[in-house]
């Protein structure tokens, strides 16, 4: 049991941090009116969608560079079925 005493300071700090965060996050602190919150959310969602509409297509996109890994097409065996290996 004595060997576990080195854990005591970290346990105490963790419990104190949990109590502190629980105290700060309790109900009733910094309440925002539901209508105001809904309006803020609607404004943010509209701004996000407007940015997506204005995006230009990438017509001059260069092809991806090779990764150096060769991939072979599957070969058919004598019966005409593709052979799959893991």
Strand intervals (E) in the chain: none
pLDDT at 15: 97
| ∠ CA 80-82-83, rounded to 5° | 120
What per-residue confidence (pLDDT) applies to 35?
92
CA distance 82 to 86: 13
Q: Give residue 1's pLDDT.
A: 73
Q: What is the pLDDT of residue 54?
A: 52
Among 28, 47, 49, CA closest to 39: 47
**Residue 83 in contact with residue 77, Cβ under 8 Å?**
yes
- The 10s digit of each residue's pLDDT in 19-69 is 999 888 776 666 778 898 899 899 988 886 665 555 555 666 677 677 777
Q: How many residues are listed for the chain in this entry?
A: 86
Structure tokens at 67: 């990764």
Position 73 scores a pLDDT of 77
Q: Report how far Cα 78 is from the mean position of its chain's Cα atoms.
A: 47
pLDDT value for 58 = 61
């Amino acid at each position: 049991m004595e060997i576990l005493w080195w854990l005591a300071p970290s346990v105490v700090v963790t419990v104190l941090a949990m109590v502190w965060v629980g105290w700060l996050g309790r109900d009733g602190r910094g309440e925002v009116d539901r209508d105001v919150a809904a309006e803020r959310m609607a404004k943010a969602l509209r701004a996000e969608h407007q940015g997506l509409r204005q995006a230009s297509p990438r017509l001059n996109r260069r092809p991806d560079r090779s990764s150096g890994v060769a991939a072979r097409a599957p070969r058919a065996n004598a019966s005409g079925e593709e052979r799959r290996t893991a």
